Structure 1
Amino acid sequence: MRLFDLHCDTIEELKKRGEDYLNCTTQFSLRDREKFQKAVQVMAVFVPDDIRGQEAVQFVLDYHQYMDDQVRRTGGQAELVEKITDLDRILDEGKWAFIRSIESGAALNGDLDNINRFADLNFKMLGLVWNGANELGSGPNNDTGLTAFGKEAVKRMEQVGMIVDCSHLNDAGFEDLLNIAERPFVASHSNVRACCSHPRNLTDAQFKEIVRRGGLCGLNLFSRFIDDDDNGSKDYLLRHIYHMLELGGEDVIAWGGDMDGEITCDPDLNTPYGVGRFADYLVEHGIGEAAVQKIFFDNAYRFFKQQVK
């Protein structure tokens, strides 16, 4: 089994609990690494909406150092991807490959030069917003689009090779993104609104735009985004996959589990190591083996190799 997961919040949970990747009570851990032939985890530094200004910049810098320290404590079981050309070597050595990302453009403090700064620190992806408003735009809590700074930030991110992540972005902001983005972008942890009406999910039109542009959409395991009854079972998640495939998404669907982001879902999916059982379940329910491999690894691997500097 191979896994490429586009989003988790584990690094901050480790710090809160005083744990490490090898000895932890978090959903994500390294305890069962041998279950994967190859494994990549995008590790997000989540900036809460109430942290702003220079404090938000420093928050990311502090977690950058903390992540480095935590990876060193794995005894070589994990390695951070500094350059995308390192990815294959790390995987061939049997390690978890960790890729840095930032969740919420509040981290930029309204300064485009911070995009270059974070890119130089090997953050490969940045989510424009979280639930509230920041200097770039807003999440689903209101209906304002991207700000002038947000539009310039997207352009700068594309220039430096940092992936634009539109998960959490509201509908008006998504429309603005379509008008300015020249490179493929991702929704790292988003489902589809046709199967669950939460505004965090993508409309069919939005998903089809991601397909048309060659982006990615990572399946989110938070039950509130899986079905309107907050059930979160794998049967409901399967509906999202069926629908995405009907919309032409075979080369776009990826995995964006959102581990340690307070997710509640099917018990089989409560850690990364349950995805093998879920992969078997997908095949049993008519999803082709090649498509399953694309969802769990191939699509995200191809995208990052092509799009990340």
Structure 2
Amino acid sequence: MMRYLTFPASCCIALLWMSPVYGQDARRIHEQAIVVDSHNDVLYQSVMRGKDIGQRINSGHTDLPRIKAGGIDVQVFAVWCNEKYGKGTAFAHANKQIDGLMKVISRYPDDIMLATDAVSARQIAEQGKIAAIIGIEGGHMIEARIDYLDSLFKRGARYLTLTWNNSVEWATSATDETRKPNTLKHKGLTDFGRQVVRRMNELGMMIDLSHVGRQTFFDVMEITTKPVIVSHSNAYALMAHPRNLHDDQIKAVAKNGGVICLNFYSGFLDPMHYTKINRFYAKYVTANDSVKRSSDAKYDRLPAVAKEQLRPPLSLLLDHIDYMVKQAGIDHVGIGSDFDGINATPKGLDDCSDFPKITEGLLTRGYTEPQIRKILGENMLRVMAAQKN
């Protein structure tokens, strides 16, 4: 943050866990740093379901009080819909979610304001308010129309994730490139996809390469003139999931001047996550289920005690941060929680009020205060500012 925070007693719970050795320094660093979370799905999870996130709610990971308790200065609100929304529906749905965010901002002007660049984000944070940034998660929401891309940018969207898990007609996703390669008509960007990338560079809109396939990733790197972001992905070397980045991709982002923001999802952190789901499903539900269920469906059927046992230690997230720093350098790593878009998180990261735990974890691992500030937010804001150059 750009100021010292004064939390009400009810909001200080997230800070009480800190150890006597590092707690005081961690608290000071966290309060004085500007903290950016590059990806949160509360619009879909709560706002679109009629929940008032201006007040503390008893569900999900996010609301304005918990954002403030976690010391998050700049919150990217992801605009998301799945592949069931297509031409004629996806763009309209994106606008409905933006409308929902605007209503929150209108209702709570003392707590949150829309930011459209790095300068306004810092200025809003200095006022003690949450700087809200809009990110569009999924290229299908522009419905293969440049004018729709322009329209979303005018409404305040400052990044576009080129694909979600589903490919679009002009770019292929990591899921499809790795799991459904034989169904693809092409790999990577088409000519229209290159047009999208060039237009985003012209607009000053960040290109988000989370979710995209390797071919799409490197096609973008060949033509972009601006630093990219990877808003919520982790290291493939530590967890071999198609959504995570290989070493050559990590180094390519660093060479490009971009930033990779680490995701809190247990399934992207813990190499034993899916094995444990199957084990607990057999133990707590049934070993003789004849219905073929996805890992998420199995997870949803587990009792609370099993879900808690599934959670990996916070140290695994710190391991991924360490690995990214080693591969890319300290200037190219950030935080993208994916809160309210994930169903399993490391122990201790129950919701966005727990962000200070990351700061203490980094401090205990020997990161300096300037390095921690970069990871917490400065790197992300640098890339955002670079879009205007």
TM-score clears 0.5: yes
Aligned residues: 309
**Distance between the aligned counterparts of 2:321 and 2:244, measured in 1?**
13
**Percent identity of the aligned residues?**
28
Q: Is the 8 A contact 1:100 1:122 kept in 2?
A: yes
| C-alpha distance 36-270 of structure 1, shift in aligned 2 (>3 A) | closer
- Bigger RCO of structures 1 and 2 (CA < 8 A, at least 6 apart): 2
Q: Which residue of 2 aligns with 1:142?
A: 176
**Distance between the aligned counterparts of 2:265 and 2:72, measured in 1?**
24
**Distance between the aligned counterparts of 1:39 and 1:72, measured in 2?**
18
Alignment of 1:3-82 (within 5 A): 3-23=35-55, 24=57, 25-32=59-66, 34-35=68-69, 39-82=73-116
Q: Is the 8 A contact 1:9 1:261 kept in 2?
A: yes
> Structure 2 residue aligned with 1:123, among 132, 157, 172?
157
1:205: how far off?
0.5
Q: Is the 8 A contact 2:79 2:97 kept in 1?
A: yes
**Distance between the aligned counterparts of 2:173 and 2:313, measured in 1?**
26
Alignment of 1:115-264 (within 5 A): 115-143=149-177, 144-230=187-273, 231-264=311-344
**Distance between the aligned counterparts of 1:77 and 1:64, measured in 2?**
17
**Distance between the aligned counterparts of 2:71 and 2:356, measured in 1?**
11
2:199 counterpart SS class: helix
1:307 aligned onto 2:341: no
Give, as a single letter, the amino acid of the residue that structure 2 aligns with 1:300. M
**Distance between the aligned counterparts of 1:295 and 1:86, measured in 2?**
20
Q: Which residue of 1 aligns with 2:132?
A: 98
Which structure carries more helix by proportion? Answer: 2
1:38: how far off?
6.0
**Distance between the aligned counterparts of 1:194 and 1:156, measured in 2?**
33
| C-alpha distance 157-34 of structure 1, shift in aligned 2 (>3 A) | closer
TM-score between both structures, scaled by the size of structure 1: 0.94
> Which structure's CA Rg is the greater one?
2
Give, as a single letter, the amino acid of the residue that structure 2 aligns with 1:280. E
Q: Which moved more, 1:11-20 or 1:29-38?
A: 29-38
| C-alpha distance 133-76 of structure 1, shift in aligned 2 (>3 A) | same
Q: Which residue of 1 aligns with 2:290?
A: none
Q: Which moved more, 1:192-201 or 1:106-115?
A: 106-115
1:95: how far off?
0.3
CA deviation map 1:182-214 (0-9, x unaligned): 211110001110111001000100000101111
| C-alpha distance 37-175 of structure 1, shift in aligned 2 (>3 A) | closer
Unaligned runs of 5+ in 2: 1-29, 178-186, 274-310
After the TM superposition, list the runs of 4 or more consecutive aligned residues in structure 1 that deviate by more than 3 angstroms.
32-38, 82-85
2:238 counterpart SS class: coil
TM-score between both structures, scaled by the size of structure 2: 0.75
Q: Is the 8 A contact 1:167 1:187 kept in 2?
A: yes
RMSD of Structure 2 on Structure 1 (CA): 1.8
Q: Is the 8 A contact 1:193 1:204 kept in 2?
A: yes
Q: Is the 8 A contact 1:81 1:98 kept in 2?
A: yes
Q: Is the 8 A contact 2:62 2:352 kept in 1?
A: yes
1:36: how far off?
5.8
1:70: how far off?
1.7
Give, as a single letter, the amino acid of the residue that structure 1 aligns with 2:52. D
**Distance between the aligned counterparts of 1:34 and 1:218, measured in 2?**
20
Unaligned runs of 5+ in 1: none
1:287: how far off?
2.5
Q: Which residue of 2 aligns with 1:283?
A: 363
2:76 counterpart SS class: strand
Q: Is the 8 A contact 1:21 1:74 kept in 2?
A: no
Give, as a single letter, the amino acid of the residue that structure 2 aligns with 1:214. G
